[in-house]
Amino acid sequence: MTKERVHYLLQQYAANKATKEEAEEIFVLLQQVENEEVLKALITDARNNAEPEIPVTEEEWGSMWNAIAAATFRKSPAKQFSLAWVRLAAAVILLVAGSVVFFIVTRKPNPGASVTAMKKALQHDVPPGGNRAVLTLADGSSIVLDSAHNGSLAQQGNTKILKLDAGQLSYNTGAAATGQVLYNIITTPRGGQYEVTLPDGTEVWLNAASSLRFPTAFTGNERDVELTGEAYFEVAKNPARPFHVKVDKEDVEVLGTHFNIMAYNNEQSVNTTLLEGRVKVTGNGTMQNILPGQQSVLDNSTSGLKVKEVNTALAVAWKNGLFRFKETNIRELMRQVERWYDVNVEYKTEGKDQDYTGIVPRSQNVSALLQMLELTGTVHFYVEGRKIIVLP
């Protein structure tokens, strides 16, 4: 059996396009020990062509291969083969195709997992979010940005507001600002995100269910904005005028740098993650300077502020179009799902919830993420309209 044939069959299966005959063929092929090298070669190809954004360690690749091989190439006919592993193998191999990437299995999968039952439970799919936001002007009037035309949208004092061809919002200030300071608010709903260039040239990416309040022209000795939710900032450098991001209980001061702030009111903490430059974080009367590769954590329950070393790729994965998890609790993970897919989650699980590690593109329907979670055999889902039920 050629590598090309196995690759084709796995692609068909992963995309739910396989005919009955093709599904039976791949089922048989993956139980034949002689095809082990073919599958391993495909996984090696996927690894060698993996995007730099998705680093995978030797240990992780080894664990994934051992799990797939143990569940597929059965030397004993008495052992039952789990169809769920076919999709898992397909997901690993389709790494380079930009489909579901993979989930590192943290517990032994359920050998009785039914792909048919999984499809039935997830038949009511939910599409991903997109560029959606509302701009509230100084006079209280609103512009729905996702349906607004490109070009000039409004004039605020000496500042012209433009919607660019790429979809982002831009503020162009003309003559020096005088008189009353005008404020705008850009708000993203659940299932929305948006990019805005502020009057000083600072670029801001807003995640779902977030808002940013800012002046239409920066005056005075400081540049102040107010954030709820989550945003990634690339601040225009101006040593004479520090840039301040104010969130509930916290102030972040920078001169020119790249950082992410996650400050949702239903999360346990406010996290500020620095990628480039230097920032000063003040919270609950405590001040901390953080350096690139560090994250400040302001605990919402204790108001304690601490700094730790982190993998910054986890914090900005959303901005790069990815769900990226590292030993993430199912409830924390599903809060991200709620915001991006505009769904509500109901739990019918008991006891300690499982942690998960993995990467899935945010451009996929919600079923892509839920199916990969189900393949761990530790959790199951049922979708009813815009409600996701989490089952043990």
> What pLDDT is stored for residue 6 in this prediction?
74
User: Rounded to an integer, what distance in angstroms lies between the CA atom of residue 315 and that of residue 322?
Assistant: 10
pLDDT value of position 122:
58
- From first to last of its 392 residues, the chain has per-residue pLDDT tens of 577 777 777 666 655 566 777 767 776 776 666 666 777 777 666 656 655 444 555 555 555 555 555 544 444 443 344 444 555 555 444 433 333 334 433 333 344 444 444 455 556 789 999 999 999 999 999 999 998 999 999 999 889 999 998 789 999 887 665 667 899 999 999 999 999 999 999 999 999 999 999 999 998 889 999 999 999 999 999 989 999 999 988 999 998 899 999 999 999 999 999 999 999 999 888 899 999 999 999 998 887 899 999 999 899 999 988 888 888 889 999 999 999 999 999 998 876 677 787 777 888 888 878 877 776 667 889 898 899 999 88
Confidence at residue 140, expressed as pLDDT on a 0 to 100 scale = 96
Tell me, what's the pLDDT at 372? 74
Judge contact between 38 and 61, C-beta under 8 A: no
State the pLDDT at residue 107: 36
Instruction: Give the pLDDT of residue 374.
Output: 77
Asked whether 391 and 382 are in contact (CB, 8 A), the reply is: yes
pLDDT of the residue at 22: 76
Amino acid at 70: A
From CA 292, how far away is CA 276, in angstroms rounded? 5
Tokens of 105: 């299995």
Selection from 133, 191, 189, 129 nearest residue 161 by Cα: 133
